[in-house]
Amino acid sequence: MRTKFLSLLFLFAISLHAQDKKSYQLFDKNGKKVSYDKLLKASLKTQVVLFGEYHNNSVSHWLQLELTKDVAAKTPVVLGAEMIEADNQTQLNQYLKGEIDQKKLDSTARLWKNHPTDYKPLVDFAKENKFDFIATNIPRRYASMVFKKGLEELQTLKDEEKSWIAPLPIEFDINLPGYQGMMNMQGGHAGDKMPKAQAIKDATMAYLINKNVKPNSVFIHYNGTYHSDNFEGINWYLKKYNPTIEIITISCVEQKDVSKLEKENYNKANYILVIDEDVTKTY
């Protein structure tokens, strides 16, 4: 009888464990578990939220939308994203105002292939609630120009084209660890072209975020996690444009075990979103 009881107890424990299986867990920068409610409260107290994502991770996209809805329920918001380029702001505004439909936006703006599943819900939320949505990324042809010919080549752009990027010349610190990491690619032979192309993206996103921050509101920005990890990238440039601006960063990582933050992921952001590595990808 005792053996049977212990067997049943063991099976019950396994069942409870299965019921508690999580797809994600939030941590602070020191590796301490935190609740979603704490993240929400912190988001409501800041001026800018930089939500770093893995572009194909379904949980990060879901949580972006949930956090946006919950923040917007309590305070005005401005939304913005790396995934739409600054020279497509006119088309985006037309869509937000109902002047063009989704089909027209698809054909006139350079939307990412996963826009319908991952970013359209955010844009549509802004449209339904009459929130601004800012296209913050540099047009990719100009980032490509930097990669091929250097930052100096941007000085050849026309005035209208320059309005779609950060004011020139941008400050560039090759000693930032993220840019150093890019320099070390390909066995140390990658040179500084890639980090400079990354920097003009970071600077442009930061500049357009800062330009569109509103009093008594929260600007929620969606970007690849590498653009804001370790408080660099967009975060670094935002502080250059506005030293007193209040920012919280969210970093996205994938782990086999979400119950404990791996040491290598400490200090990546104010909040680290750890997602089960088996979670469904959107592409």
CATH number at residue 151: 3.40.50.11550
In a domain, 64, yes or no: yes
Which residues have C-beta within 8 Å of that of residue 153, sequence separation ≥ 6?
145, 146
Report pTM.
0.92
Partners of 27 in the β-ladder: 33, 272
Which domain does 222 fall in, by range? 22-255+266-276
Rounded-to-integer distance, Cα 70 and Cα 67, Å? 5
Residue type, position 79, single letter: L
The whole-chain average pLDDT of the chain stands at 93
Of 182, 222, 187, 191, which Cα lies nearest the Cα of 78?
222
In a domain, 13, yes or no: no
Q: How far is CA 192 from the centre of its chain?
A: 24
Q: How many CA atoms lie within 13 A of 277 on its CB side?
A: 4
pLDDT band at 209 (very low <50, low <70, confident <90, very high): very high
In a domain, 283, yes or no: no
Under DSSP, is residue 154 helix (H, G, I), strand (E, B) or coil? helix
Average pLDDT estimate for 139-148: 96
In a domain, 11, yes or no: no
In a domain, 109, yes or no: yes
- Per the structure, the count of domains in the chain is 1
Which residues have C-beta within 8 Å of that of residue 84, sequence separation ≥ 6?
92, 109, 111, 119, 133, 135, 136, 137
In a domain, 15, yes or no: no
Per-residue pLDDT at 6: 43
pLDDT band at 271 (very low <50, low <70, confident <90, very high): very high
| φ and ψ of 216, to 5 deg | 55, 35
Asked whether the predicted pLDDT for residue 16 surpasses 90, the reply is: no
pLDDT band at 184 (very low <50, low <70, confident <90, very high): confident
Rounded-to-integer distance, Cα 22 and Cα 24, Å? 5
Per-residue pLDDT at 72: 98
Pair 200, 86: CB distance under 8 Å = no
Average pLDDT estimate for 66-77: 98
Average pLDDT estimate for 237-265: 97
Partners of 251 in the β-ladder: 272
Give the single-character DSSP code of 165: S
Asked whether the predicted pLDDT for residue 234 surpasses 60, the reply is: yes
Query: Among all chains, which residue has been given the structure tokens 């020139």?
Result: 168
Per-residue pLDDT at 45: 98
Partners of 33 in the β-ladder: 27
Rounded-to-integer distance, Cα 256 and Cα 86, Å? 37
Per-residue pLDDT at 9: 44
Per-residue pLDDT at 188: 63
Asked which of 103-107, 185-189, 193-197, 209-213 is least confident by mean pLDDT, the reply is: 185-189
In a domain, 4, yes or no: no
pLDDT band at 20 (very low <50, low <70, confident <90, very high): confident
Rounded-to-integer distance, Cα 170 and Cα 108, Å? 29
Per-residue pLDDT at 56: 97
Of 212, 42, 62, 75, which Cα lies nearest the Cα of 122?
62
Rounded-to-integer distance, Cα 92 and Cα 123, Å? 9
Asked whether the predicted pLDDT for residue 92 surpasses 70, the reply is: yes
Asked whether the predicted pLDDT for residue 48 surpasses 60, the reply is: yes
In a domain, 17, yes or no: no
